[in-house]
Structure 1
Amino acid sequence: MMLRLIRYLSVIFILIGVLIVFFYTPFYSDMVMRILNGVVPVEVNQVAAESQQMGALSENDDLEPGSALWIARQAYLKVMEEAIRTQNSHDLVELHARYQVLQQEIKRETEQNKIKKPDTTKVPFLIHPKDQQAHSEPNIASGHIEDLLVGQSKENSALMQKYIKFLKTHPVELKEQTAIDDEIYKDIAYVNTRNNAKNAGEVRKDVFNTQEQPNAIVVLGGGLTLDKNRKDIIINEYTRLRLEKTLEVEKETHLPIVLSGVEAPYMQAWLAQRGIDAKLLENKSMNTCENTRFSSLLLQKQGGAPKVFLVTDRYHMPRTRRLFALNGIETLAVEAPMPTPLTTWQPSQQNYDHSRRANYELLASLRDMLFGSSGCREVP
């Protein structure tokens, strides 16, 4: 009996030893990635996707998604598209004048009903590259998110129709010599950009080989750390490698860049030092779920981005793509390298670092798909 027990224990110890050795090989992390890419769904939620196709992406708008001013702007762009077809400059000037009146009315009403909200901004976090894990706690997109996005609730749809009627019929007085000002030219270009994206039959083929041109490049922060002087805060190796990959994508596509995470201001400074002006910052998210949710809201606020290039590491990619899909955005994966490469076959510590990341993302993805998760705010 004792001999049989010793044999069983020996077999168990041998299996554990083999498994540990397997963790230190490049084959384990590759196996996990095949599992993740096979089981994690990335089909876009079509209801949420409608909210990403209401306007043209802009790097300069600063309107809260779902707000009356944002709905008014989308109504204005819709009516302007109709007015452009008439090729009548007087119609455009009249429309712009009505839009200005509508904005004033909305601001006046908003001031009367304004409710102050406490600032929940958190300070940036510090993560050493060796201890870096992908942001945690993603959450399955709930039904509340669609109501927040313009055009998804009955109230917002009704408000949109009300504003369209106002922009078409509200009486305004114009001088005979009134000309189209710079703002109208910008808005015309805004509408034309959207129409070109929708109607283009063929898009320039580049190294990314996509049939439908994405609208932006979204880069997820990988953490911050301390500089060598132990005083200054800088981006860590995970974030740096993602930004280096972003430079390659931007060079090929010249698309707007969205920087996501509390690391965003530091990422923006890093890119600025290399001649890239990234204007779209989402700097409130503290985990992957908030990365995807807040970035989606930012893109929707800027006019919509149904498809984006997504830059993060290979292990983080499946879970992140799924969460963006739940928020209505299709993603094209652009994998950034890890700080340490895999060896060809022999066991090593750097292979184990990859295995840890793979295990983390495997467990996090399964948890999210089966149970969802907490700690993900609905709005920034």
Structure 2
Amino acid sequence: MGDCANATEELIRGKVLVCQGFNQLLSLNNSGAIGGVFVANVTESLLEELIQILLPAIFITTEDGKNVENYLRNHPAAKGSLEFGLTSFDLSPAPTLASYSSRGPSHSCPFVLKPDIVGPGSLILAAWPSNIKPKENGFNLLSGTSMSCPHLAGVAALIKKAHPEWSPAAIRSAMMTTADSLDLSNQPIKDAGKSERTSTAFGIGAGHVNPNKALDPGLVYDAGAIDYVNLLCGMNFTAKQIRAITRSSTTNLCSAPTLDLNYPSFIALFSVNYSSSSSPNEVLEFTRTVTNVGKGTTSYRPTLTPLEGLSVKVVPNKLEFSSEGQKLQFKLTIENNHPVKKKPFVSSGYLRWTEDGGDHIVQSVIYQCRLIYPI
């Protein structure tokens, strides 16, 4: 038992290795060993590397490793075998945000809350064809949170099949406003990278995707190309830069610049230098348009969860739709009225539009943040 990285191929060929730590772990894939027992306290940050091991292996704690070491000292001719025994299901709490999942905010566009959503993609095994530098089994093998992307793209494809007339923005909205913000134990989704504390919107966005609910969201926040052009204008992109992005020769591109994109989430960015108790309270206004994609005649009423240090209002107090496809507008106002010395760096809550006598609840996350770098 020791540091397997320094062992010669002649010494380890045909053997079951007992290794201390994970030095040069992947180099053991083609070492000639037939198995491995790795002694170390595995943290989630190591799992993405460990999952790529082609060598049959198990991982034990340093405490259990002491028992193995003592046994091997007393039984130098010991033989070992590895056998697949159990797959665990129904783990709780689930889902949990992976420690290495990307976090917000978006440094290029902090006015739009990112990430949008999380999906089931941590430690998913992904392979690609054998004609691209294959491993011994004919496929390359990698794992990581990148597999959330094809999972979420697959959900989007299913929604597009069910609703071919919907735009990409409408599909994104359907996924976001129906996402789950609670885990299977009915508690807020935890963050494995922060000692299982409650995850923030900079970690999970709207929450964990719920494909079945996303097929029937009730209302959607739609957006078209011109909405994104107006956002670029609001971010002070030059006309040349915008034309390079849009591939358009139109000269009057910035007739209505805005940072208030019709998005299914809200981020309240308050001034970093808000430090005087005599300063007036900061007020932010968001205007949104929702499209009825449910039944023709229906109505929705808003509810707001309390946000620490903020006064939040929405008008009107009811949205009444008379037909499918109808669009209605509302305004969300957020006022920062927290005492300066006690103001939180972040706080979050939700705006929920609940259908009268129906099953639809259209949920949007609201996140307050004071950025520590200039916008």
More helix by share: 1
More strand by share: 2
**Larger radius of gyration between Structure 1 and Structure 2:** 2
Higher relative contact order (CA 8 A, sep 6+): 1
TM-score when scaled to structure 2?
Answer: 0.25
TM-score when scaled to structure 1?
Answer: 0.25
